[in-house]
Amino acid sequence: MKSLINSWQLWAFLSATFAALTAVLAKVGVEEINSDYATLVRTLVILAAAAAIVAATGQWQSPVSVPGRSYLFLVLSGLATAASWLCYFRALKLGDASRVAPIDKLSVVLVAVFAALFLNERLASINWLGVVLITAGVVLVAYKP
């Protein structure tokens, strides 16, 4: 069981499951309110939950122990997350969750491209085929006949 808990595949699958629930629950939650306000509420819940987890597991660390470079990239990541969530909630407000979520998952394709360009990560041909297939899947799921 210990090896399963330390498996990145398990955590990635759980992430996907919770992301799917996020889309469905958020679609209902945003129906009667402004999408930006809905994003704020969601963010406050995430902040409280993350703080509780860090406190409960004893993972707090002194802010001065964190390198400046880490702060820079975490702040940039936070800004990107905020922009993503604001756009996502606006899309959910305007469109069907079953079409918004697949387009949002083009992030998988973009991560592969950005990782290759900026992180020098290398994908094999079979992996790039998967990226192409994900793109095709997004188009097919998001298409409205």
The DSSP code sequence of 57-85 is TT----GGGS-HHHHHHHHHHHHHHHHHH
Residues of the chain with pLDDT under 50: none
> How far is residue 111's CA from residue 103's CA, in Å, rounded to a whole number?
14
Q: What is the pLDDT of residue 100?
A: 92
Q: How far is CA 48 from CA 54, 82, 126, in A?
A: 10, 16, 41
Q: What is the pLDDT of residue 1?
A: 58
What is the percent of the chain where pLDDT is above 70? 99
Q: What are phi and psi of 58, to 5 degrees?
A: 65, 30
> How far is residue 35's CA from residue 38's CA, in Å, rounded to a whole number?
5
pLDDT in tens, 79-114: 999 999 999 999 999 999 999 999 999 999 999 999
Q: What is the pLDDT of residue 46?
A: 96
Q: What is the rounded average pLDDT for all residues in the chain?
A: 93
For the entire predicted model, the pTM comes to: 0.82
The residues, any chain, with a CB within 8 Å of residue 99's CB and separated by 6 or more, are: 141, 142, 144
Q: What is the pLDDT of residue 6?
A: 85
> How far is residue 123's CA from residue 115's CA, in Å, rounded to a whole number?
9
